[in-house]
Structure formats: C-alpha cells, structure tokens
Amino acid sequence: MEREPVVAWRSPDDPNHPLVVLLHGRGADEQSILGLADHLPDGPSYVAVRAPIAENGGYAWFANRGIGRPVAESLAETMSWFRTWLDDVAPTGRPVILVGFSGGAAFAGGLLLADPRRFSGAAILYGTLPFDAGVPVTPARLAGVPVFVAQGETDTVIPRELLDRTWTYLLSESGAPPYARRDPGGHGLTQGTVAELGGWIAERVGFLRHRDANIDSPVTWRAIMGGELPVRAGHRPEVSWTIPQEQRSDNSPTDIQEQLFARVAALPGVASRQSAISVPGARGFMVDPAPEVPLDAFLVPSAGEFAHLHPGYDGSLHLALPPALARDAVAKGWAVAHPLAGVRLARGMVLVYGPRDETELDIVTAVATASHAFATTLGSRHMGL
C-alpha cells in the first residue's frame, strides 16, 4: 500500500469553506471524477482522492462485477489512512460531504457508517454500502446525516440484491434523511442526477451556514411513564421516497386519527388550520414562536407550524423533534426521517407512522407532545423535554 495521498483539487483549497470529497469507481481515477466538480455549485472546496492501493489505481477490494465482496481488513486499513489525511485538511468543525460513485460509493458508505458524526452528508451514487465489511448497519445509525442516493434501474454492474439492500436501508432503517433518485438507465451518471446532486449540496451547505450548531439533548420522553419510548410492534409501513412523503400501508383507522387530532389540538397555545407546507387537507398545528425557540423546532418557522396531520387516506404526522429524540423515534420503529431534514427543513423532521390502536395513540400523542414542548419556551430551555 502506498502511503502518500494522491489528490486533485478543483482549485486551491479554502479551509474556511465546506469540503466536498469526490471518490471514484473502479477503472477511473481522481482526475476523471474531479470533472464532476465543474457541474456542482460554487462555494465548497472540491477534492478528488485516490485510495492508497496499488491495484487498479483505487478501490481495488471490489473485484467481482465491479464491486464483489469487501474485505473487512483492507477496507478498515484504507479508511484509517483516509481519516488521517482528512483530519489534516479538514479538522473537526469543518463540514465534510462525501460523494462516491460505484466503488467509491461503497468507500464513502463505509466511512459514513464507521463514523457518522464526522461527516455532514454523503452521496451514494450507483453503488452499494459495504454490508460485509464489518461497519455498523444498525437502526438509526445515520440519523441526522443527510444522504443523497441515486441508482440506475437497469444497472448490471452492481448486483441488484445489493442495490436493493442499500436502497432499503438508507430510505428507512438507517435514519438518514434520504434524498433518493432512480434513473431508467444503467451504471452511469445522468444529467438529471448531477443537477439534483448540485442542488442538494447547495442547500445542505446553505443550511449549515445559516443554522445554529446541532446541540444534542438527553433522550428522555417526558410524556411517557419511565421516560423511555417502547419499540413499535411489527414491520415498518411503506412510505413514499418522493415528495410529498406519505405513509402508504398499515394506515391508521380514521377514528383514531380524529382522536389524535383532538389531543394535539388541545395542547396549550395550539391553533389548527391548513398546513403551510403539506398537501391539501393536511391539518397543521401552530403556536406563536418565542424568540428564544430554535428554528429547528418548526416545520415552517414563519407560521409557527411544528407538526401537521396528513389527510385520512394517510394518517401519519410530520413533526419536528430535537435530533436525539428524532433518532430514538426512528430507531424504535415509530418514524422515518424526511428527505429534506437538515437540507431545507428542520434537522429533526420526521414522519411518524399513524397509530393503529389505542395503545399506539397514547405513544404517538406523547411524541407529538415532545414536538410541542420543543416549539415552546419550555422546549427551548429543556432540550430533553
């Protein structure tokens, strides 16, 4: 293994700007993927990095049909090398976004799964996560870390079962806010994907620039006896991966939905009207924002909207939670992150599945109560709620 980094910069690095790291696939090199930066937004610094492996000029542990099975030892060694290089060019505090294509997507995914707090986002383009490489793929592992995922519907380079597994994990159990795109073609970047990737990077960088630092809080659910959220029974419902985000299976009975609406609407200071952000018929829950309450406590800060209940055919809720509580709700099976959480919308914006019975009604009401507390003066003083 060669030890010196092989890197290419789009232009001289500005350490005061976010860093976007481009990681190429097998058969390519750092110069070829650097051309992608010409189609991405100005503002961040862009660098392409070659992994320090002699064979094939890069991520050579991917052997069969373009990726093969990752070798845990090789991947761990290369990730360790990369982190040493990264800590020099981007010390802690500088936002770093990974963009990996094909084999580079697996490397980016491995880095992200190994240390999600180190990165501000990642794009997994036409590739798979390194599921067999010993990195954690536990529920809510990537909560709070926006991910852009793109795949080709007729991709024959990456085994379909690995593409599907990657798609399913990133869009549900991982907890990541997932911006997803599927192209009708195969294993290659399309103009549409590049354009949407550029918009996603621009919005994520803008969000980081204009929002306060992400301050975590203790995971305590004050409206639940014992302060601990139980695990939701059964499989996760099907949820759309496009916007508007909707629950499409295992929906809440309409009478339970109405009871949930009445309970949330009765919380102190709450007014209800058509949501300022959701589909027609979605009922928003609004409070008068206090100056000290963070923007992340609202879905629509200007309207004071902290949550809304979707129409009867859906029955789920969108609401904003402190990041630690959002992570717990996803991990326990009650919620999934919104695709634009931490990109355009509140970091802790989640879709909470509609309650199926009276017991779940009590739990979902408690989750909505936590969201309400976050959006009030009480919530700003006690982030643990």
- Taking only the tens place, the pLDDT of each residue in 50-67 is 865 444 434 444 433 334
Q: Which residues of the chain have pLDDT under 70?
A: 1-5, 51-73, 212-216, 377-385
Q: Say what the pLDDT of residue 27 is.
A: 76
Tell me which residue of 338, 297, 298, 292 sits closest to 316, measured CA to CA: 338
- Taking only the tens place, the pLDDT of each residue in 301-330 is 999 999 999 999 999 999 999 999 999 999
3-state secondary structure of 317: strand
Strand order in the sheet with 147-152: 6-9, 45-50, 19-23, 96-101, 121-125, 147-152, 178-183
- Give the separation between CA 286 and CA 301, rounded to whole angstroms: 10
Q: Say what the pLDDT of residue 73 is.
A: 66
Q: Say what the pLDDT of residue 61 is.
A: 40
Tell me which residue of 299, 360, 351 sits closest to 330, measured CA to CA: 351
Q: Say what the pLDDT of residue 292 is.
A: 84
Omega before 244 within 30 of 0, i.e. cis: yes
| CB burial string 11-22: b at 16+ within 10 A, e below | eeeeeebbbbbb
Q: Say what the pLDDT of residue 133 is.
A: 85
Residues with Cβ within 8 Å of 286's Cβ and at least 6 positions away in sequence, in order, are 270, 271, 272, 273, 303, 304, 305, 306
Contact call for residues 286 and 305 (beta carbons, < 8 A): yes
Tell me which residue of 5, 13, 12, 65 sits closest to 30, measured CA to CA: 5
Q: Say what the pLDDT of residue 50 is.
A: 80
3-state secondary structure of 137: coil
Structure tokens at 324: 């630690």
10 Å CB burial of residue 73 (0-12, 13-18, 19+) is exposed
What domains appear along the chain, each with residue ranges and CATH number?
Answer: 6-210 (3.40.50.1820), 254-381 (3.90.1150.30)
Structure tokens at 308: 């809304």
**Can you say how many angstroms the Cα of residue 160 is from the centroid of all Cα atoms in its chain?**
22
With 0.85 as the threshold, say if the pTM is over it. Answer: yes
Structure tokens at 23: 């990681």
Residues with Cβ within 8 Å of 321's Cβ and at least 6 positions away in sequence, in order, are 329, 348, 349, 350, 367, 370, 371, 374
